[in-house]
Structure 1
Amino acid sequence: MAVVAIETDSPGTDASRDRALPPSMVERMTLILDAFDAPSTRLTLEQVTRTTRLPRSTAHRILDQLVRLRWLSHSSSGYALGTRALNLGGTGGSHLELREAAAAVLHELQVRTGMVAHLAILDGADVRYLDKIGGRFAATVPSRVGGRAPAQCTALGKAMLAWLPAEQVEDRIMPTLGRQTSRTICDLVALHRELGRIRERNGLAFERGECFSEISCVAVAIRGPEGPEAAISLVGDAHTALERVAPLVAAAARQVTRELYPMVRLRTAEPA
């Protein structure tokens, strides 16, 4: 007869009942990793326990091992896929430090506003999304981790393009300059004027229906010693009062910048 291992948590915890566990450690680790069903998924210990039905102490011990082995990462906002898992999935573990530095900030932005929070980088003429955190509204926002969007018509892209030399902007954007909606900026002169306005606002970039007609967005770049490294944004519907949440996005970008590049000094971004 097969023997099934039984493990219990210490008395007084929420998961103190005995439970039948998968018989091997590999199966238990797989059960936990399967709970992270997308590169942007972030779970607390309690959420992992509920999803896997493992005792809390067992889940915590395995999570610690997965973090040490870099299958998962851990921050104040919970657990997420780590370098090894992201590399296997082809989602770019080279930006793990950036994702980890921004994780708690994105989580706080989403909780405080109820909007969708993004982290993205410039990749040629596009932005590439490294993280996306949101509630029910997230399903209506046509973005995904690892996905792309044209830089010239997203707040994320414009926030980063504003801090590049004009010739670099043109080299990136000119070959693919095109229209997404009736509000997309499709002229280089107009785009440079827009980027100038962003610099005058100390980095605040707005986008209302330029990429998707029903979406509005505000973003601020994370700037390193050599220029823009990434950007953080909040996304709402077309009627969202972006100016109300803009200071929160600016503060979030400054916080991540200070953590990653403590020698960089940025001016405070405020709505115009």
Structure 2
Amino acid sequence: MTTSVPAARQCRTTPPPPSMLDRMTLIMDCFYGRAVRLSIEDVARATRLPRSTTHRILVDLVRLGWLAQTPAGYCIGSRALSFGNDGGHGRLREATAASLHDLALRTGMVAHLAVLADADICYLDKVGGHFAAKVPSWVGGRAPAHSTALGKAMLAWLPPEHVDLQVGGAMTRQVNRSGRRLETLHQELARIRGRNGLAFERDECFPSVAAAIRSAEGPVAGISLCGKVDAQLERVAPLVARVAKEASIELFGERRAIRPRHYRPAPELPETWSPEAMNSLLAVGSGGNWM
């Protein structure tokens, strides 16, 4: 599903500029607001550029990282994110800032907010005390989506073929080093959906738990808590789930997210939950099955 360009952006009365730099800027100006996804036709219509010219420039912008191509269309890329063109991510940071601070204060752990950027996650916010300086993440920095709790929390709510396109190439290049394979990742994502969207990563130096902020169309961002090696993730997992739910409702309203029919069923879950954590988790998910 693409997000069409509003009429105000389609009503160009002057001919397109001859300069390639001007044309690239004209195309980049089409990508505004939250989670915009545009097709080639959308961009060509908005800029009044020939379709062949539009396609050629889009290919170059994707290659350079200014834009990213997904099955849902073109969107803002990781390089544009790092230069402050956040594609509406300021609203995400505003909606979650207080909750991230509260999570960090209540748990003594480091709270993150991130979005998917090609095969990576891009950190939008990081909150924590003195311990935060030891965690090798920074606002604007990136990490592989397939090997982080934040990335997997978001990937779990994408169609499998979208996951393959998003991270398959990166995993193929890194498989000898990471030991992870695409089929194993899909099994992990099924388990995450079986846990109402909670993703755990215990193989990192700093274990973490994450959940996705979701609209009816799919994942928009992710929130996580990251702690020391002995962190009891199950105890704080319900807090992460609750914050993600509240942010989803604030941003997109109280509505169920669509669960595609072709999602694979979740296998048996290997994690052991404390009764307290499980009760809290069930309480979070009881009001309308939001995840």
Displacement after TM superposition at 1:185 (Å): 5.5
Alpha-carbon distance in 2 for matches of 1:269, 1:199: 12
What is the TM-score normalised by the length of structure 2?
A: 0.58
Could you give the per-residue CA deviations for residues 224-248 of structure 1, whole angstroms, max 9, x where no partner exists?
Answer: 1210000000001222110010000
Cross-structure match for 2:232: 241
**SS at 1:215 equivalent:** coil
| Identity percentage of aligned residues | 54
Give the equivalent residue in structure 1 for 2:261.
none
Displacement, 1:92? Answer: 3.2
Q: Does 1:261 align with 2:266?
A: no
Shift of 1:263: 3.5
Cα separation, 2, equivalents of 1:219 and 1:103: 16
Secondary structure of the corresponding residue to residue 184 of structure 2: helix
Query: What residue in structure 2 maps to residue 48 of structure 1?
Result: none
Q: 1:206 aligns with which of 200, 204, 217?
A: 200
Whole-angstrom CA distance in 2 between matches of 1:153 and 1:103: 25
Contact kept, 8 Å, 2:175 with 2:181, in 1: the verdict is no
Structure 1 residue 90: Cα displacement: 2.1
Which of residues 228, 246, 250 is equivalent to 2:219? 228
Gaps of 5+ in 1: 1-86
Residue of structure 1 equivalent to 2:73: none
TM-score in terms of structure 1 length: 0.62
Q: 1:239 to 1:102 in 2, by over 3 A?
A: same
Distance of 1:181 and 1:114 partners within structure 2: 35
* Residue 126 in structure 1 maps to residue 120 in structure 2: yes
1:175 corresponding residue in structure 2: 169
Q: Aligned to 1:143, what secondary structure does the other structure show?
A: coil
Query: In the alignment, which of 90, 97, 102 is matched to residue 83 of structure 2?
Result: 90
2:60 aligned partner:
none
The CA deviation string for residues 35-55 of structure 1, in whole angstroms up to 9 with x for no partner, is: xxxxxxxxxxxxxxxxxxxxx
Q: 2: CA distance between counterparts of 1:91 and 1:208?
A: 31
Instruction: Return the match for 1:150 from 144, 148, 153.
Output: 144
Number of equivalent positions: 180
Instruction: Decide whether the 8 Å contact of 1:257 with 1:264 is kept in 2.
Output: no
Q: Determine which structure has more spread, i.e. the larger CA radius of gyration.
A: 1
Letter in 1 for 2:152: K
SS of the residue aligned with 2:227?
Answer: strand
Structure 2: where are the runs of 5+ without partners? 1-79, 258-281, 287-291
Letter of the structure 2 residue corresponding to residue 225 of structure 1: A
* DSSP-derived class of the 1:234 partner: strand
Cα distance per residue 1:75-124 (max 9 Å; x no partner): xxxxxxxxxxxx9x823343111110000110110110010000000111
- Structure with the bigger percentage of strand: 1
